[in-house]
Amino acid sequence: MTAPGIPNEYTLSTTCFGARLGRIEDQIFNAVAMGFRQLELGLSEAPPSMDGLEDCKRETSVEVRSMIAGCRDSSSGHSAAHDLGSLEPIERERAMNSIRRHMRLAEAWGCPIVIVRGTKIGAPALREQGRELESRLVTEGATDTLLAEVAGYVKTVQAKGQKQVEHLCRSLHTLMGEAPEIRFAIEPGMYIDDLLGFDAMGWVMDDMAAQGLGYWHDVGRVHLRSRHGLPEHGQWLEAFAARMFGVHLQDAANEEPEMPLGLGEVDFKLLAGYVPKDAERVLELNSRHGRAEILASIRFLLDQGF
């Protein structure tokens, strides 16, 4: 199943290649050599040239199954998705126009799913407080006192971010109405100042149920949030697995996401029991890991029941 060139059933994120391969055709041929026939267009500091995509798709039968909003923008730590719920109309419109561009590209490339990852709380003071708490988690460790502070901070973010959540829902409603053939999914972010905490994710999913908005589970980032005392995988999966479009598969430990599978702390047997059979399974590793780690991760997934 994982021998080079033998197709597997997983999707490979182009994030795995980073800046090593600057052309999509090189990324496709490398993915095919590892047995993948499906790609996700992931985030990268330097998005690849898309010249030759259609020829490669015809030659290899590779499909582009999903893309993360912002994948065609140079990564600077700030995604257009972060401003979809902004309190500033100009920032919201700029974010929507960025995602409209990605929607047009998705249509042109035959990509059926666009993933919106994370939305930051708008208040500068709350963002700064979040950075300070995350710094203390690294230097002091996850003491009971500090975890209580984090829990209180997240409650404050959720309470003061309700207006932003409303704007996020309106933005998504507008975008989904403009391209009904594209399936949209939202994914929680990594940091404690992310607007899409557990409660807010529930509000958005409930509000957008009639529009068919999907949930996308990020294994590594949810795990890191849980290490800070926030809801664990089981809570997220119990609440949202029924509406899951896909999952980003990666391991995590300490403060490091995007690790090869089996080298971190994630319970993948628990995950396997929740992920719907028709959900997209996307392998997303940091680009410093290479072919050996990717193939080993596929073997690990099969051993764990995926």
pTM, whole model, 2 decimals? Answer: 0.94
Per-residue model confidence (pLDDT) at position 82? 78
**CATH code of the domain containing 37:** 3.20.20.150
> What pLDDT digit, counting tens, does each position of 238-264 carry?
999 999 999 999 999 988 899 999 999
Residue 1 — very low, low, confident or very high, per pLDDT cuts 50/70/90? Answer: very low
> What pLDDT digit, counting tens, does each position of 11-52 carry?
999 999 998 899 999 999 999 999 999 999 999 888 999 999
Average pLDDT over residues 284-306: 92
Q: Which one-letter amino acid corresponds to residue 114? A: V
Domain of residue 16 covers 11-117+165-189+212-303
Residue 304 — very low, low, confident or very high, per pLDDT cuts 50/70/90? Answer: confident
The pLDDT of residue 298 is above 50: yes
What Rg value do the Cα atoms of the chain yield, rounded? 19
Share of the chain above pLDDT 90, in %: 80
Average pLDDT, the chain: 92
Asked whether 185 and 213 are in contact (CB, 8 A), the reply is yes
Q: Which residue has the higher pLDDT, 224 or 255?
A: 224
Per-residue model confidence (pLDDT) at position 220? 93
Average pLDDT over residues 170-185: 97
Residue 257 within any structural domain of the chain: yes
- DSSP assignment string, 207-276: HTGGGT-EEEEEHHHHHHHHTTTS--HHHHHHHHGGGEEEEEE-EEETTEEEEPTTSSS--HHHHHTTS-
Residue 87 within any structural domain of the chain: yes
Residue 156 within any structural domain of the chain: no
Residue 157 within any structural domain of the chain: no
Residue 131 within any structural domain of the chain: no
Phi, psi of 36 (to 5 degrees): -90, 140
Sign of CA dihedral 108, 169, 240, 147: positive
Asked whether 119 and 82 are in contact (CB, 8 A), the reply is yes
Per-residue model confidence (pLDDT) at position 306? 79
> What pLDDT digit, counting tens, does each position of 108-145 carry?
999 999 999 988 888 899 999 999 999 999 899 889 99
> What pLDDT digit, counting tens, does each position of 71-103 carry?
998 665 566 667 899 999 999 999 999 999 999
How many independent structural domains does the chain possess? 1
Residue 226 within any structural domain of the chain: yes
Per-residue model confidence (pLDDT) at position 80? 64
